[in-house]
């Protein structure tokens, strides 16, 4: 069996991991040679960038599974189990979210102990007072867009 590659976007809870991974999904599906294979929810319309989901995409010659939920180990475990029960073909690359420490890190490290794991820190822009600010929100959105492109570039190269 070929070694799987796992890209883990790790960061604080509610730090934008789901949004970044949903942007990655939309970007991947914008290419002609990408095909939506399966997902939960099982549709190819991704208008809510803050909603957790998992998808499997045929991206050129690679089968890529993306799991956006990563703040809790239970969600991560459930999503990996759903994928293995619903999709029997091999997956070349997993991309998932994870907290920066704790149970999600332990789960991923144990599940993929014999595979290549690439850990990517979630970029974030914030204010200490946490007051909503249109400029900060615009910068945060642009940061998510750019990090999705970096993840896509990583998928292209591994």
Beta strands 93-99 and 116-121 are unpaired
pLDDT band at 70 (very low <50, low <70, confident <90, very high): confident
How far, in Å, CA of 38 to CA of 54, rounded? 8
Write the pLDDT tens digit of every residue in 125-153. Answer: 776 776 778 888 899 899 999 999 999 99
Q: Is the pLDDT of residue 8 over 60?
A: yes
Q: What percent of the chain has pLDDT over 90?
A: 67
How far, in Å, CA of 13 to CA of 33, rounded? 33
pLDDT for the residue 43 = 58
pLDDT for the residue 3 = 66
Write the pLDDT tens digit of every residue in 102-116. Answer: 999 999 999 999 999
Please tell me the pTM assigned to this model. 0.91
Torsion, CA 3, CA 119, CA 46, CA 145, rounded to 10: -130
pLDDT band at 7 (very low <50, low <70, confident <90, very high): very high
Q: What percent of the chain has pLDDT over 70?
A: 91
Work out the average pLDDT over 29-56. Answer: 81
């Amino acid at each position: 069996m070929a070694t799987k590659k796992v890209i883990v976007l790790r960061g604080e809870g509610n730090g934008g991991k789901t949004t970044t991974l949903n942007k990655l999904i939309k970007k991947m599906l914008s290419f002609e040679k990408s095909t939506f294979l399966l997902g939960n929810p099982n549709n190819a319309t991704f208008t809510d960038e803050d909603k957790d989901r998992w998808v499997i995409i045929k991206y050129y010659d690679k089968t890529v599974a993306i799991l956006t939920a990563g703040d809790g180990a239970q969600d991560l475990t459930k999503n990996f189990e759903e994928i293995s029960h619903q999709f029997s073909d091999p997956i070349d690359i997993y991309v998932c979210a994870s907290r920066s420490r704790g149970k999600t890190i332990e789960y991923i490290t144990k599940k993929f102990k014999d595979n290549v794991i690439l850990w990517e820190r979630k970029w974030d822009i914030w204010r200490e007072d946490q007051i909503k600010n249109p400029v900060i929100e615009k910068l945060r959105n642009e940061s998510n867009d750019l990090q999705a492109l970096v993840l896509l570039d990583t998928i292209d190269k591994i």
